[in-house]
Protein backbone atom coordinates (compact mmCIF):
# COMPACT_ATOMS: atom_id res chain seq x y z
CA UNK A 1 0.00 0.00 0.00
CA UNK A 2 1.31 3.45 -0.82
CA UNK A 3 0.03 6.97 -1.25
CA UNK A 4 1.10 9.95 -3.30
CA UNK A 5 1.85 13.39 -1.90
CA UNK A 6 1.14 15.86 -4.65
CA UNK A 7 3.52 18.76 -5.43
CA UNK A 8 3.02 21.85 -3.28
CA UNK A 9 4.31 25.35 -2.53
CA UNK A 10 6.01 25.54 0.85
CA UNK A 11 5.85 28.55 3.21
CA UNK A 12 8.66 30.24 1.25
CA UNK A 13 6.64 29.82 -1.98
CA UNK A 14 9.14 27.29 -3.35
CA UNK A 15 7.72 24.39 -5.35
CA UNK A 16 8.33 21.02 -3.69
CA UNK A 17 7.93 18.08 -6.03
CA UNK A 18 5.51 15.28 -5.21
CA UNK A 19 6.66 12.02 -3.66
CA UNK A 20 5.36 8.56 -2.79
CA UNK A 21 4.88 7.19 0.69
CA UNK A 22 6.65 5.35 2.21
CA UNK A 23 9.83 7.12 1.21
CA UNK A 24 13.01 5.22 0.46
CA UNK A 25 14.97 4.76 3.66
CA UNK A 26 12.03 5.96 5.78
CA UNK A 27 9.65 4.18 8.12
CA UNK A 28 7.83 1.38 6.27
CA UNK A 29 4.66 2.06 8.28
CA UNK A 30 4.47 5.68 7.04
CA UNK A 31 2.27 4.97 4.03
CA UNK A 32 -0.05 8.00 4.17
CA UNK A 33 0.50 11.56 3.00
CA UNK A 34 0.12 13.83 6.04
CA UNK A 35 0.62 17.46 6.97
CA UNK A 36 -0.81 20.65 5.49
CA UNK A 37 -1.12 22.26 2.08
CA UNK A 38 2.30 23.85 2.49
CA UNK A 39 4.07 21.12 4.53
CA UNK A 40 3.65 17.46 3.56
CA UNK A 41 5.28 14.32 4.94
CA UNK A 42 4.66 10.60 5.23
CA UNK A 43 3.05 9.17 8.37
CA UNK A 44 1.09 6.16 9.59
CA UNK A 45 -2.21 7.94 10.39
CA UNK A 46 -4.67 8.23 7.48
CA UNK A 47 -6.46 11.19 9.11
CA UNK A 48 -3.46 13.48 9.57
CA UNK A 49 -3.77 15.64 6.47
CA UNK A 50 -5.30 19.08 7.02
CA UNK A 51 -6.40 21.12 3.99
CA UNK A 52 -5.07 24.36 5.47
CA UNK A 53 -1.78 26.16 5.42
CA UNK A 54 0.56 25.42 8.32
CA UNK A 55 0.46 29.08 9.41
CA UNK A 56 -3.12 28.71 10.65
CA UNK A 57 -1.68 26.76 13.58
CA UNK A 58 -0.01 29.97 14.80
CA UNK A 59 -3.41 31.64 15.06
CA UNK A 60 -4.66 28.71 17.13
CA UNK A 61 -1.62 29.08 19.36
CA UNK A 62 -2.18 32.83 19.80
CA UNK A 63 -5.84 32.21 20.60
CA UNK A 64 -4.92 29.56 23.15
CA UNK A 65 -2.39 31.90 24.79
CA UNK A 66 -4.93 34.72 25.01
CA UNK A 67 -7.53 32.38 26.49
CA UNK A 68 -5.08 30.96 29.03
CA UNK A 69 -3.92 34.47 29.96
CA UNK A 70 -7.49 35.60 30.63
CA UNK A 71 -8.16 32.47 32.67
CA UNK A 72 -4.98 33.05 34.69
CA UNK A 73 -5.95 36.67 35.44
CA UNK A 74 -9.44 35.61 36.55
CA UNK A 75 -8.00 32.86 38.76
CA UNK A 76 -5.46 35.28 40.25
CA UNK A 77 -8.22 37.83 40.99
CA UNK A 78 -10.31 35.09 42.62
CA UNK A 79 -7.42 33.98 44.84
CA UNK A 80 -6.66 37.58 45.88
CA UNK A 81 -10.35 38.15 46.68
CA UNK A 82 -10.52 35.00 48.81
CA UNK A 83 -7.35 36.00 50.68
CA UNK A 84 -8.66 39.51 51.37
CA UNK A 85 -12.03 38.18 52.56
CA UNK A 86 -10.32 35.64 54.84
CA UNK A 87 -8.09 38.35 56.28
CA UNK A 88 -11.08 40.63 56.91
CA UNK A 89 -13.03 37.78 58.51
CA UNK A 90 -10.17 36.87 60.82
CA UNK A 91 -9.20 40.44 61.72
CA UNK A 92 -12.74 41.56 62.56
CA UNK A 93 -13.53 38.63 64.89
CA UNK A 94 -13.76 39.58 68.56
CA UNK A 95 -10.59 38.72 70.46
CA UNK A 96 -12.29 37.26 73.53
CA UNK A 97 -15.45 35.30 74.11
CA UNK A 98 -18.61 37.26 74.62
CA UNK A 99 -19.79 37.59 78.21
CA UNK A 100 -23.20 35.99 78.45
CA UNK A 101 -23.78 37.41 81.92
CA UNK A 102 -24.19 34.00 83.47
CA UNK A 103 -21.59 32.62 85.79
CA UNK A 104 -21.28 28.91 85.97
CA UNK A 105 -20.57 27.58 89.43
CA UNK A 106 -20.16 24.09 90.63
CA UNK A 107 -22.69 23.08 93.27
Q: What does the pLDDT look like over 2-56, one tens digit per residue?
A: 688 889 888 788 898 989 888 888 888 888 988 888 888 898 888 777 766 666 6
- How many domains does the chain contain in total? 2
Same domain, 59 and 76: yes
Structural domain of 22: 3-43
Same domain, 34 and 63: no
Instruction: Answer yes or no: is 76 within a domain.
Output: yes
Question: How confident is the model at residue 51, as a pLDDT?
Answer: 67
Instruction: Answer yes or no: is 107 within a domain.
Output: no
Instruction: Answer yes or no: is 15 within a domain.
Output: yes
Same domain, 38 and 67: no
Same domain, 7 and 28: yes
**Which pLDDT tens digit goes with each residue over 71-95?**
999 999 999 999 999 999 888 877 6
78-106 b/e (C-beta count within 10 Å ≥ 16 → b): eeeeeeeeeeeeeeeeeeeeeeeeeeeee
Instruction: Answer yes or no: is 104 within a domain.
Output: no
Q: How much is the mean pLDDT over the chain?
A: 82
Same domain, 57 and 29: no
How far is the C-alpha of 23 from the C-alpha of 79, rounded, in Å? 54
Question: How confident is the model at residue 36, as a pLDDT?
Answer: 85
Mean pLDDT of all residues in 67-74: 94
22 cis-preceded (ω within 30 degrees of 0): yes
Same domain, 39 and 59: no
Amino acid sequence: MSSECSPYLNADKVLVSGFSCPRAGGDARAVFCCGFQDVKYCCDDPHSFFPYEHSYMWWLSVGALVGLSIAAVVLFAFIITVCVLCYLFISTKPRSKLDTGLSLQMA
